Structure 1
Amino acid sequence: MKWIKSKSLRLLFVVFFFVTLILPLFNMFATITTESIQNLLFTPVFGEVILQSVLVTATATLIAILLALALSWCVAKTAMPFKNILIPALTLPMLIPSISHGMGLVILFGAKGIITNLLHTSFSLYGFSGIVIGSVLYTFPIAFLMLLDVFKYEDDALYEAAQVMGVSKLRQFTDLTLVYLKKPLISAFFAVFTMIFTDYGVPLAVGGKYRVLSTYMYREVLGLLNFSNGAVVGIILLLPAILAFIIDFFSQDSQSGSNSVRLKIKASPVRDRCAAGFCILTAVLFNLPIIAFVVLSVVKKYPVDLSLSFDSILQTLQLGAGEYFFNAIVMSLLTALVGTAIAFTVAYFTSRGKQTFTSRCLHLISLVTVAVPGIVLGLGYVTRFSGSILYGTLMILVLVNTIHFFSSPYLMAHNALLKLNPNFEDIAMTLNIPKHRMIRDVLLPSTFGTLLEMFTYYFINGMITISAISFLSTVDNMPLALMIPVFEGQRLFECAAFVSLIILVSNLILKALISFVSSKWQKYLN
């Protein structure tokens, strides 16, 4: 009976993913007509949009990866000072929506931007250059954290041996570092490429007349209500993520960091100071938009009147920011709670006990979710749930975010559960301890830190996302992040800047609270 119950739960989750992931995509594809394919794929204009999308995405991805590689090497391989400050500073931009980065560039380098006025010059911001810069600001922290984490598991004894053998630093970098980072670099490249290719926040803010696929789809669906054309674009937007998933799935990393040796990094004054200077300069440049948000939030009217004033803050609140902030907090908290619970439960079924056909299906589906861009998933939900009891409610936003961000929290839980003693279930059965008690008293306490990370990931992404929910939100349930494009469209940059700051501060408070809980838990365990 216990096995039947477990099997039933697995099947229930398979049905859940079928309804919330497979059916929405199928419904979206079903809207495609032969006419829409001919109107899009065989027209010069659409070919130009695809070419521009690939060009701007490839350029931004290459810059972001190279910067991430250089800065992660500086942090991991040098004894530079201020590491504990610089790492959070370099990753701070990931706590605001992508459209905020584009808007920050407008505030800084637009026709009346802060830096434009200070230098008395003009910048060609809108179009290719603006999208590239904004996309690098948006995706760099992700690539930086991915590569920095890989550096933690590198075996430094190899470098010591190479140094004893007289191998030059350049040869060590090319023959050891780059070889070790080959697969992580490929994974990071595809992850960043997919994020930029499917993002419409930055192009919406600084794209100008330079059209890319994401904004083209946004215009077709929200502007023209042409779901068939939008579905065709959605398929194209799916391709890079699917390719990335296939490459990552079938190229299992044979390297292991379990036996790596971490040696103390020898100080080198010149190298360490240069590395610190490079990181500080990058951190300052990457956080300029956030600094600009602070300035705009407390001046009366930039650049006409720079006197201290809280008028823009009051105006933002009068326009409903408080209500939308409440929506965002509730949506993000529910997404974090529901998503963490589902991801952990599914990870338990796929990592512990008998590996059945349904558990393997669950594992594959859980990984596949990473290959579905938010803007595509959102359109799928429109075509699938329009007219249902869910449509237009806060719960559909929670549901789409749960699926959109499912893969990373699932992998956190899956990997954490795999590391625990595989005999816990057998011991519990021998001692006649119910499985739910074993999970409650053993597995949950052992993976509590991972659960906090999963909760944080869901909450932060829930606060900053605009892609999946842009097609589904209404005036009553609209979260705060969607006010940014509204304010920007109305040229209320001061209000949009303040909204970005609210989101940033909310995420920082959440991270601080989670860090406090985590430290208390570690002290309790010790």
Structure 2
Amino acid sequence: MKKKNKSRLILIIFFLFAVILPLFNLFTYVRRDDIKILIFTDGFSELMFNSLSTTILATFISVSLALFVSGVLRRSQIKFKNMFNVVLTVPMLIPSISHAIGLIILFGHNGIITQFLDLHFNLFGFVGIVMGSILYSFPVAFLLISDALSYEDYTSYEACEILGIPKVKQFLNITLPNIGKPLLAACFAVFTMIFTDYGVPLMIGGKFQTLSAYMYREIIGLLNFSNGAIIGVVLLIPAFIAFIVDLKIEKERHDSTLVRKFVVKENKKRDLLANIILILISVIFLLPIFAFVLLSVVEQFPKNMSLSLRHFKDALQLDIVDYLINSLTIALSTALLGTVVSYLTAYITARSNKTPTVLFLHLLSMFSLAIPGVVLGLSYVLFFNSTFIYNTIFILILVNIVHFFSSPYLMAYNSLSGYGSSFNDLAEVHGISKWRMLVDVFIPNTQLTIFEMFSFFFTNSMITISAVSFLSNVRNQPLALLIPQLDAQSLIEATALVSLLILICNIIFKSGMYFFKQHKLKGENNE
């Protein structure tokens, strides 16, 4: 009992110093006079309106499109379903700011598609932010909704087929109610992502400013921490509401009993149309990445489009290898430490009696879902600026662990909760310690979940710019932060090359993890 209590106490202290105190300290920097000057002005109302209007529209389009694509993929018999699943999530492997740059390359005043089709429209501002936000958030909505559709029971649909009820009514009366809570959770997740992201509006917003981009400029450009803290608190409000609603949804969600897996009947015309739709949407979402590849190997866009490797040589002179090493060091360290801490936390909360301490620890573990990265980064600047870890690579690792903690924690928590209480009873009867159960039983049987946790921490640490942008310096700066710096110098080919390099690193890592998991699965099947 003493060891268990000690472990819980250590984790609570960790969350206290890594989450609670930095956020509480952020509130102390908010000055009452600055609130009156900033909040009660027409400028702030405009910022809020801009943020809400772009976020609401982008969320609606992103979630609706994800629902449509998930339905097309799940309700057809097309070949290469796994390939489409992978392709549609590739945009998750690059920073949000890269999507905005890709749109500029394609649809800017001298963009590839703009010139080719002789288009005349202003990308910068409202339209560009909405487009970039959709590219950035769609994969998350797609994964959540597609997963929900995979657990639908076919029994109700079979009855509707017999009764001759039209497909539209089946969708409205069965599908939507069945996936209502996951769909709502996807809406809140996407809304929070877009509302708090500053990468897209910073790069493509022009004079159309949002709250998150304004906060970035106030802190990085003007070092105005008071205004930054006020905006940070404002950004916390919708994220915290989303967090509370998501907790309520999770609490009310009941495990569905899958009586019969969904049966998709043969229909060649439907499958042909599904293939066309999925190929078209996949191409649209991969276009910014194609643009990165093209821009990386041409002499000078758009004046001289002849093939050249000059940018790769220039990148070496920019010490890009050093930044890449920083990113890989931060990502691997975050993945290793984050996986260990989140798994151990999940083990305690999932395999222990639901005491007030355990429930409090579970709530703390979920809380990072409600903290935008840009707010977390600012709170770390204000809280840790006089400590020994400030200006070191360790603070970047810590902020990434906290920023991405909740999702891997939930992966482990759900996996470990799946084992009945009989395991605990058997361990007590035979005098087996909790530690031995962890090492000999649970870790071997949840290896695939651990791999997914490690992968989540790594890929997100490679692409993030929000939490680390206020904390890095020349010596420890990750590669992703080069993108806004190079773009500010109008080195668009270099920004494309950096985005491409991050994508390649994440694809190599994800491919390695995939083959490693396949090897493990084959080994288990042979046994």
Please say whether Structure 1 and Structure 2 have the same fold, judged by a TM-score greater than 0.5. yes
1:25-174 mapped onto 2 (5 Å cutoff): 25-174=23-172
* Match of residue 13 from structure 2: 15
Partner of 2:440: 441
- In structure 2, how many angstroms separate the alpha carbons of the residues matched to 1:187 and 1:245? 9
State the shift of 1:354 in Å.
2.3
Counterparts of 1:76-475 in structure 2 under 5 Å?
76-251=74-249, 252-475=251-474
Could you tell me how far apart the structure 2 residues matched to 1:72 and 1:336 are? 29
Contact 2:50 2:209 in 1 (8 A): yes
Q: SS of the counterpart of 1:287?
A: helix
Residue 418 of structure 1 and its aligned partner are, at CA, apart by 0.5
How many residue pairs get aligned? The number is: 524
Stretches of 4+ moved more than 6 A in 1?
none
The one-letter code sitting in structure 2 at the alignment partner of 1:79 is Q
One-letter amino acid of the structure 2 residue matched with residue 429 of structure 1: E
Q: Deviations over 1:4-38 (max 9, x none)?
A: 11101101111110100001101111001011101
Letter in 2 for 1:217: M
- C-alpha displacement at 1:255, in angstroms? 4.2
1:305 offset after TM fit, Å?
Answer: 1.3
Cα drift, residue 173 of structure 1: 0.8
- Aligned counterparts of 1:139 and 1:24: Cα–Cα separation in 2: 28
Write out per-residue CA displacement over residues 186-245 of structure 1, whole angstroms, 9 at most, x where no aligned residue: 111111010000000101110000000001100111111111111110111111111111
The C-alpha deviation readout for 1:166-197, integer Å capped at 9, x for no partner, is: 11111111100111121111111111010000
Equivalent residues of 1:481, 1:499 under 8 A apart: yes
Comparing 241-250 and 292-301, the one that deviates more: 241-250
Indicate conservation of the 8 Å contact 2:338/2:457, yes or no: yes
1: CA distance between counterparts of 2:45 and 2:142?
33
Cα pair 1:78 1:271 within 8 Å, conserved: yes
Q: Deviation at 1:267?
A: 1.6
Listed one character per residue, the Cα deviations across residues 262-298 of structure 1 (whole Å, up to 9, x for unaligned) are 1431021222221221111011011100000000111
Shift of 1:90: 1.1
Q: Secondary structure at the match of 2:332?
A: helix
Counterpart amino acid of residue 440 in structure 1: V
8 A Cα contact 1:153 1:260, kept in partner: no
- Inter-partner Cα distance in structure 2 for 1:258 and 1:452: 27
Question: Shift of the alpha carbon at 1:358?
Answer: 1.6
Alignment correspondent of 2:499: 500
1:46-91 superposed Cα distances (whole Å, 9 cap, x missing partner): 1111011100110111110110010000011111233122111111
Deviation larger for 173-182 or 204-213: 173-182
Q: Which residue identity lines up with residue 341 of structure 1 in the other structure?
A: V
Give the whole-Å Cα distance in 1 for the aligned partners of 2:488 and 2:297.
21
Q: What's the TM-score, normalizing by structure 2? A: 0.98
Deviations 1:86-116 (A, max 9, x none): 1111111111000000000111111111111
How far apart are the structure 2 equivalents of 1:423 and 1:414? Answer: 17
Report the Cα distance in structure 2 between the residues aligned to 1:453 and 1:260, rounded to whole angstroms: 28
Q: Name the amino acid aligned to 2:204.
A: V
Residues 181, 253 of structure 2: 8 Å contact kept: no
Q: Write the letter of the residue equivalent to 1:18.
A: L
CA distance in 2, matches of 1:230, 1:349: 37
Residues of 1 paired with 2:222 and 2:398: CA distance?
A: 26
Whole-Å Cα distance in 2 between the matches of residues 356 and 257 of structure 1? 27
Q: 1:321 corresponds to which letter in structure 2?
A: I
Q: Is the 8 A contact 1:90 1:283 kept in 2?
A: yes
Q: CA deviation at 1:422?
A: 2.2
> How much has 1:353 moved relative to structure 2?
2.4
Query: Is 2:31–2:226's contact at 8 Å kept on the other side of the alignment?
Result: yes
Which one-letter code corresponds to 1:350 in the other structure? T
Q: Distance in 2 between matches of 1:53 and 1:232?
A: 16
Q: Give the counterpart letter for 1:154 in structure 2.
A: E
In structure 2, distance between residues paired with 1:116 and 1:259: 49
Which sections of structure 2, spanning at least 5 residues, go unmatched?
A: none
1:34–1:214 CA distance, 2 compared to 1 (3 A): same
Letter in 1 for 2:101: M
